[in-house]
A = this chain, B = another copy of it.
Amino acid sequence: MADPVFNKLALIGIGLIGSSIARAVRRDNIASEIAISTRSAATLDRARELGLGDSYHLDPAEAVRDADLVVLCVPVGACGTVGEAIAGVLKPGAIVSDVGSVKGSIVKQLKPVLPKGVHLVPAHPVAGTEYSGPDAGFATLFQNRWCILTPEAETDPGAVQTVRRFWERLGSNVEVMSPEHHDLVLAITSHIPHLIAYNIVGTAADLEDVTQSEVIKFSAGGFRDFTRIAASDPTMWRDVFLHNKDAVLETLGRFSEDLSALQRAIRWGDGEALFDLFTRTRAIRRSIIDMGQEVAAPNFGRDVPDGKQG
């Protein structure tokens, strides 16, 4: 087995992402020691029962003492508070990272509170499921998924390299970009998809002429797909939208403009415009499958016979 990338890892937050990191780090000897902190005593007990770490702390400052890498695995809106709580205890040369789905806000929240000599290397593993909590995690969550790092130009290259190696050992492909570009890219590949999924599930729940029971029964017509991401953690996603407001509103504007054009094509019976778009979109899925980011099996493989490939 390969050597640890560093000695002590502190995970602040031990939900889906934190517990998946803990499991993979333990399995593959990526750090010698794992300290876990979370503010809920019940969650901390559960993490202990699951044997996810070496030490367990309600106070994040205790967990980060002597840590080489601290990874904040809490909702984006909580990162500044955690940063303040740990700032005085971080050892010189420690690296602080996170897993948040928004990066500009993370830099804004953490940079002012971290002491000189501590390196900030924000990270975003583009991976997850619709389940939450320490039981939801699994060691292969990051396997063949992308992890985006958004250090500033002046960040210590050695610190960036350490975080890169850490994520590569977790199975990810690593890419580096600016926080601003990250927030724009994720607005379209993640935030707007979640927003419109939440929205359509809400719309369906509020119709008067269609019963809830009908929505559920006939959901295999397409609706059920959207309920998966609309079942994602509400606190996490509230924070994403509050902290990536500008990019989300900008991208949502594009989406709505395009939807109005489709609406008009339907109203005026412009079958050619519909057919053209519907043909163009097919190719993109093929590319995602070819890049190993999606399965080829029909219906995500969920209710088709084994071996039935598209």
Spell out A's residues near B (CB within 8 Å): 101, 126-131, 136, 138, 140, 143, 145-146, 148, 175, 181, 184-186, 188-207, 209-210, 212, 214-232, 234-235, 237-239, 241-242, 245, 248-249, 251-252, 254-256, 258-259, 262-263, 266-267, 269, 271, 274-275, 277-282, 284-288, 291, 293-295, 297-305, 308, 310
Contacts and interface: CB of A to CB of B under 8 A. Distances in A.
B201 A145 contact: no
A138 B304 contact: yes
Contacts of A271: 238-239, 242
Given A224-B293, A278-B238, A193 B200 contact: yes
Contacts of A235: 275
A160 to B, nearest CB: 19
A241 to B, nearest CB: 5
Nearest to A270: B242
Contact of A131 (B195, B255, B310): B310
A234 B40 CA distance: 50
A70 B87 CA distance: 74
Nearest to A207: B188
Given A189-B214, A189-B219, A230 B129 contact: no
Contact of A242 (B136, B209, B274): B274
Count of chain copies: 2
B138 A202 contact: no
Contact of A300 (B192, B194, B285, B301): B301
Contacts of A255: 199-200, 203
A197 B252 CA distance: 14
Contact of A230 (B221, B282, B295, B303): B282
A218 B242 contact: no
Given A231-B281, A280-B202, A220 B130 contact: no
Given A241-B274, A249-B263, A301-B300, A210 B188 contact: yes
B259 A241 contact: no
A278 B191 CA distance: 13
Given A189-B221, A219-B189, A228-B225, A198 B281 contact: yes
Contact of A280 (B127, B205, B263): B205
Contacts of A192: 200, 203
A258 B224 CA distance: 19
B305 A190 contact: no
B185 A288 contact: no
A191 B215 CA distance: 12
A143 B220 CA distance: 12
Contacts of A221: 101, 126, 128, 186, 189-191, 193
B184 A209 contact: yes
Contacts of A251: 203, 207
A229 to B, nearest CB: 5
Contacts of A126: 218, 220-221
